[in-house]
Chains A and B, each alone.
Chain A
Amino acid sequence: MAVSNVDGTTEGGGYALTASNLQVWYGGFHAVSDVSMEVPTHRITAMIGPSGCGKSTLLRTFNRMNDLVDVARVEGSVHYRGVDIYGPDVDPVEVRRRIGMVFQKPNPFPKSIFENVAWGARIHGFKGDMEQLVEDCLRRVVLWDEVKDKLNQSGLSLSGGQQQRLCIARAIAVQPDIVLMDEPCSALDPIATLHIEELMRDLAAQYTIVVVTHNMQQAARVSDYTAFFSVIPETRTGELVEVGPTDMIFDSPDNPRTNDYITGRFG
């Protein structure tokens, strides 16, 4: 089931990403089966579902992070701006520059706070005012006031929530179109989680965001669209059950399995 009637504004007919018949294998293990869904531009799309349902795996197919896993194999297509990112002429490095990622556990580089933000821009040959860029990105993630006096300290000296905001600043410093977030709050306390959620709402004006979360309240709070995944018990293969506007998924899901999960009767 696909999202329809989305008033998108950019290329791709309002969709930042379109996955068609996407399948993922890890060696002989069929991890994700036949997913077709769209990710609307400048919206937050949440992917929810029980552990092992393949939502993180699917997220990693959206910017070809699965290429890092030797045994991973992807079938089907993911279209970004009219191009299949699994096409033969596509450079995965360029894909990842435009489709950034924030990880489950904050993973700042063991470099200074400044260098963390500047790193990506620098390797892409950014010629502008680096100090301005770093300040802009840190302001954007509401971290500037906390770190402006210690930009030379290690990124690892920050608290977990600050580190995750630093990682988001680092991701947007290379000016991506889409930011993929893989359970960005699962290692954080409730206050830090709240900060990140506010930040996501704020960033959605400028970026398309896809967020994997195991926290249904979070999905309900922040996302515009929700995709619910489940796992086929016999094969442990993940499948997409239902995707649609978040209100609809939470208030009147089509599929009884979605309803069971959302009301806490399963999962």
Chain B
Amino acid sequence: MSVKPGAEFLTGGLGIEMDSRRGLGRRRRPFEQFMHGALWLCGAISILTTIGIVYMLGQEALLFFRREEVRLLDFLTGWTWQPQTLQFGIWPLVNATMGASLIAMALALPLGLLIAIYLSEYASFKARRILKPILEVLAGIPTVVYGYFALTFVTPILRNMFGVEVVEIFNIASAGLVIGVLVLPTVTSMSEDALRAVPVALREAAVGLGATKLETSVRVVVPAALSGISAAFIVAMSRAVGETMIVAVAAGAGPRNFADWSEALGGLRALNPFQSAETMTGHIVRISGGDISYDSLDYDSLFAIGLLLFLMTLGLNIFSRAIASRFRERYD
């Protein structure tokens, strides 16, 4: 029987037998100590994994940048990615990744937030019980299916709308829109959680002042939930930037290269969403899927791309957090 130290005082007069010999001395609790250690280990594993990945990426990327064929400045500013001719300018890949992600977020953020507001503030219990599982099914569809959905369903629609001579078969817009659908459940469910966590008392305060449901939702509940909503945005954006299968299938199988900045931005040719382009992830998966020899320049270049991708999502995280903490309204 385990008795808390001091319990003797409470029960002493009641005639209940207690082990009072041990007094108030410090007791050993092996199981508590074991669990403490085990939980610490679980936390440590996730941190160690991250450190391991960063270390591995960094080390391999360093091999790439150490090679004499590669110049860091060209890597960071160049608009041609053509390993055959030893041209390693990262911008065609970064441009495609950013294009697809922005299109995805332009779809997923407003739509996801509106759905979340509907589910949290407007929907009846019944409607929510039906809608939420349907939405969650979207998150369970394999991304390769999404890829072919983009290629065989969305692309033909875009070509019908804007003309076959404008929209190429492989294009960024189609892939971006479908990535938007892919991250929609993430945006919705995280935003909804944040909205529902806002105390009912705040809604009552607004309604009691004669605010309509829309005024209450948009001007009290959403601002109060902003930190959670921006967390949803960060997760969804990171997911979109890192999405691979959809862009590999639907966006194109070659970087959209330009000679230099003026050629890329002249007539905004780099920004055309209806032409094919290869994203950072798309390039990595295509090259590593082919017969590539270990220790080759191509092989090392993939790690440089991976490292940059990691730094981009990290930067996005930090940036969004800073924005959110600037505008959030603390209610707790």
Could you list which residues of chain A lie within 8 angstroms of chain B, going by C-beta atoms? 63, 65, 68, 70, 93-94, 96-98, 100-101, 103, 105, 107-111, 119-120, 123-124, 154, 156, 167, 170-171, 174
Contacts and interface: CB of A to CB of B under 8 A. Distances in A.
Given A105-B201, A110-B224, A65 B207 contact: yes
Contacts of B201: 103, 105, 107
Contacts of B331: 110, 156
A63 B208 contact: yes
Given A97-B209, A98-B210, 10 more contacts: A65-B207, A68-B204, A70-B124, A96-B210, A101-B208, A108-B205, A110-B329, A123-B210, A154-B329, A171-B208
Given A70-B124, A109-B220, A110-B331, A119 B209 contact: yes
Interface in B287-332: 329-331
B330 A154 contact: yes
Contact of A70 (B125, B202, B220, B223): B125
B205 A123 contact: no
B199 interface: yes
B219 interface: yes
Interface residues of B, number: 23
Contacts of A98: 210
B164 interface: no
21 contacts: A63-B208, A65-B208, A68-B207, A96-B207, A96-B208, A96-B209, A100-B208, A100-B210, A101-B208, A103-B205, A103-B208, A107-B202, A107-B205, A109-B205, A110-B330, A111-B223, A111-B329, A119-B209, A120-B209, A123-B209, A156-B330
Contacts of A107: 199, 201-202, 204-205
B181 to A, nearest CB: 32
A29 B183 CA distance: 43
A143 B208 CA distance: 21
Given A107-B199, A123-B219, A97 B205 contact: no
B217 to A, nearest CB: 12
A174 B329 contact: no
Contacts of A93: 210-212
Contacts of A119: 206, 209, 219
B249 to A, nearest CB: 45
B74 interface: no
B215 interface: yes
B283 to A, nearest CB: 45
Interface of B: 124-125, 199, 201-212, 215, 219-220, 223-224, 329-331
Contact of B209 (A100, A110, A156): A100
Nearest to A64: B207
A78 to B, nearest CB: 16
Nearest to B328: A110
Contact of A167 (B124, B205, B212, B330): B205
A111 B220 CA distance: 9
A68 B202 CA distance: 13
A170 B209 contact: yes
A156 B199 CA distance: 14
B116 to A, nearest CB: 19
A123 B204 contact: no
A94 B210 contact: yes
A156 B209 CA distance: 18
A139 B59 CA distance: 66
Rank and list the top 6 A-B pairs by shortest CB-CB distance, nearest first. A97-B210, A120-B209, A110-B329, A101-B208, A107-B201, A110-B331
A103 B208 CA distance: 9
A101 B203 CA distance: 12
A97 B206 CA distance: 10
A77 B204 CA distance: 23
Contacts of A124: 210
Contacts of B124: 70
Contacts of A171: 208-209
